[in-house]
Amino acid sequence: MDTKKIFKQKFPFWEMLTEYEQNCIVESTLCNNYEKGDLVHGGRTVCTGILYVIKGKLRGYVLSEDGRDMTLNKLMEDSMCIMSGACIIDDLNRNFYIEATENAQILVIDVKYIKKLSEKYNEVKIFFLEIAKDKYQNAFNLMQSMMFIPLEKRLLNKLLEERERQHSDVLSLTHGDIAKDIGSAREVVSRSLNTLQDKNIISLSRGKIGIKNIKELKKLI
């Protein structure tokens, strides 16, 4: 795997750096493997580094003191996460965790050196500030919808989204996954899904949700 090639593609400021600076970044970057379920960032870790997903999938989430879990973002192949490299933006969210939801291969970019570069090059600073701003903005918007949009509506939207994403009326989706994505508890989600099943709008089976009446479903939103 050619780390340099990835950075060249992903960092708009790459060509601006000297060869020495480029090498410093490459040399301080680790390539780690994680198994499904592994914690990639969070808990005691202050700053893991900037993550770049080569293979697999990650999930970023916040965790409350009493263990409630809410998905903030999902990281697919070929995407980058800087919230795990919190110290680059002088910030730290101790409730923020990242786990591998599939076996994953990940580049972990050490941020100490990048931080130094961001003081030298405005372009480096702008690149990371823009990502950070977007991440927080999305997280804020998500939280806002959690607080202000009724659970029922969030659940219906989630079903529509998954239908779009999976290109199917039979969704592979557990109640627990839905709960995390819409910021609720599994029990509450199951109750709502059962109500929809009683109304003949969906059908439930192990790990699957079938959409039987899309017209009625859309009407409820």
Residue numbers at the binding site for its own copies (CB under 8 A): 62, 64-65, 68, 70, 89, 91, 93, 95, 122-123, 125-126, 129-130, 132-133, 136-137, 139-141, 143-144, 146-149, 183
For its own copies, give the closer residue by CB, 126 or 170.
Answer: 126
For its own copies, give the closer residue by CB, 76 or 126.
Answer: 126
User: Closest separation between CB of residue 179 and its own copies, Å?
Assistant: 14
CA distance 192 to 46: 38
Contact 115, 90 (CB under 8 A): no
User: Closest separation between CB of residue 140 and its own copies, Å?
Assistant: 4
Class of residue 124 by CB neighbours under 10 A (exposed 0-12, middle 13-18, buried 19+):
buried
User: Closest separation between CB of residue 201 and its own copies, Å?
Assistant: 23
For its own copies, give the closer residue by CB, 62 or 211.
Answer: 62
For its own copies, give the closer residue by CB, 144 or 195.
Answer: 144
User: Closest separation between CB of residue 125 and its own copies, Å?
Assistant: 6
User: Closest separation between CB of residue 181 and its own copies, Å?
Assistant: 15
For its own copies, give the closer residue by CB, 35 or 91.
Answer: 91
Q: Give the residue carrying structure tokens 């680790």.
A: 30
44-49 LR contacts (CB < 8 Å, sep 24+): 46/86, 46/87, 46/92, 47/84, 47/85, 47/86, 47/87, 47/88, 47/92, 47/111, 48/84, 48/85, 48/98, 48/108, 49/84, 49/85, 49/108, 49/109, 49/110, 49/111
